Amino acid sequence: MRRFRLAALLAAAVVALLPSTATAATYPDPRPVTGQQIIHDPTVIRLKSGGYVAYSTGGVIGARTSTDREHWEDAGNAFATPPSWWYEYNATGDPWAPDISYRAGRYWLYYAVSSWGTNHSAIGVATSPTGLPGTWTDQGKVFTSETTDTWNAIDPALIRADGKLWMAFGSYWSGIRMVELDPRTGKALPGTTVHHLATRPDEPYAVEGPYIVKHGRYYYLFASYDACCSGVNSTYKIRVGRSASVTGPYVDSTGTPMPAGGGDLLLAGHGRYIGTGGQSVFRDRGRDVLAYHYYDAEDEGTPKLGLNDLTWQKNGWPVVR
């Protein structure tokens, strides 16, 4: 009997260890990068001229460049000085959460200007022939929100679908939204419907930073849940849902709608890598790469660049490698 009990206790101990082991395997560490690693809300693109550029929150849209996606150099800022209209939204002309894409022979850089805790916000856009810092021409406001609105016009992300151009956006308030853009100007179409893609069931509705990717016959909505911007106390994590239509409804793998709080957990903090979020996805040599920031618990919570391959299971759902 004692031997049986001992064996049972040992088996229970092994089982108790399994969840943490599985969790560690589920959330891989970011791939090693060197050089200038400090970044927040990264958006990355492989340039037509070769090499990579990453833009981020901080500075006048902070810039990093790389020739190999591993070693990154500080490249200054997208703009030398903030466009004057930014000061309508905060006293320092501070931009947030950029998104870079290439379309119609030029690069497009979307970004947000706002103040902490308010939805008096605006999304703007700039264009460039090369995508490099110092070459951007600001084109003004794309879409705005006011305190009377139930959404927040920050964290833009572009997606082309069915011959149309769309922009997902949103933070807290009622969650993730989407509007259609004029492909010629890159700005919201007059009278565009504001679609609702995702939210949380309880206040403060902590979901933001959308990014949408088309894979197979589905559109996949990635979003950052919970709290950012608190160093090692951040609880950011990345969740995902999918839809056959770009405007939704998006559901997770259990069928729970994202507007009802659904979303499969894709990447969460683990070990020294705290508060993984502020994500975007870019294509590199035919493969998808997830870019995000994390707070380094071994470096006083400094926000740093995370890069991982994004692969796809047979059932269509993404996995971080």
Q: What is the mean pLDDT of residues 299-312?
A: 98
pLDDT digits (tens, 9 = 90+) for 200-228: 999 999 999 999 999 999 999 999 999 99
Tell me how far apart the alpha carbons of residues 271 and 306 are, in angstroms, rounded to a whole number. 14
Active-site residue numbers? 41, 208
| CA distance to 4, 27, 281, per residue, from 15 (Å) | 16, 19, 36
pLDDT digits (tens, 9 = 90+) for 135-154: 999 999 999 999 999 999 99
pLDDT digits (tens, 9 = 90+) for 75-125: 999 999 999 999 999 999 999 999 999 999 999 999 999 999 999 999 999
Give yes or no for a cis peptide into 42 (omega within 30° of 0).
no
Tell me how far apart the alpha carbons of residues 49 and 87 are, in angstroms, rounded to a whole number. 34
Q: How many distinct structural domains can be found in the chain?
A: 1
CA 81 to chain centre: 25
Tell me how far apart the alpha carbons of residues 245 and 252 are, in angstroms, rounded to a whole number. 14
**CB 261, CB 197: distance < 8 Å:** no
Q: Which domain holds residue 244?
A: 2-320
Q: What CATH number does residue 108 fall under?
A: 2.115.10.20
253: number of Cβ within 10 Å? 14
pLDDT digits (tens, 9 = 90+) for 241-295: 999 999 999 999 999 999 999 999 999 999 999 999 999 999 999 999 999 999 9
Specify the DSSP class assigned to residue 247.
Answer: T
